[in-house]
């Protein structure tokens, strides 16, 4: 049965906000199979073709610009005269911000490796079931 596009869009938005497929299915009175199929189709559409390339270009540009900005900020922060003008609170906030950025970047890299490993293992399980 074909579902209205607005229903599919609302369900996908709920998934993107972090809700589980089970909760989304309950909320919109749809089967979990339908929700999972929509999720998998959306995932597959971003993994292939021009959409993936466009997203990749945007993400790469954002990351490049962010790293260049952080490099410029670090250059300013290496000025000891400027650093000694900051209060202890400002130094702590500065350090906390830099540390948080570094941890998030490393976490994203680790998550990407886990995601890739997870995607491969799921694909292997599907292939084993089909065989």
Number of residues written out for the chain = 131
For residue 119, is pLDDT > 50? no
pTM for this one? 0.39
Nearest 5°: the CA angle 16, 20, 21 is 95
| Band of residue 25 on the pLDDT scale cut at 50, 70, 90 | very high
What is the C-alpha separation between 71 and 58, in angstroms, rounded?
A: 20
Among the listed residues 65, 59, 21, the one whose alpha carbon sits nearest the alpha carbon of residue 39 = 21
**What are the structural domain ranges in the chain?**
5-44, 65-130
- What pLDDT is stored for residue 102 in this prediction? 79
Higher pLDDT, 131 or 96: 96
Mean pLDDT, rounded, of the chain: 79
Q: How far is CA 20 from CA 6, 29, 78, 117, in A?
A: 19, 14, 45, 21
């Amino acid at each position: 049965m074909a579902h209205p596009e607005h229903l599919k869009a609302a369900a996908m938005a709920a998934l993107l906000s972090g809700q589980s497929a089970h909760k989304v299915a309950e909320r919109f009175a749809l089967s979990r199979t339908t929700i999972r199929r929509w999720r998998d189709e959306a995932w597959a559409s971003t993994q292939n073709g021009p959409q993936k390339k466009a997203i990749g270009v945007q993400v790469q540009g954002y990351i490049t610009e962010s790293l260049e900005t952080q490099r410029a900020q670090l250059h300013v922060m290496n000025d000891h005269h400027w650093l000694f003008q900051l209060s202890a609170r400002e130094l702590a906030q500065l350090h906390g911000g830099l540390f948080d950025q570094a941890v998030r970047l490393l976490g994203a890299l680790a998550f990407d490796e886990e995601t890739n490993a997870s995607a491969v293992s799921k694909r292997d399980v599907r292939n084993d079931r089909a065989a």
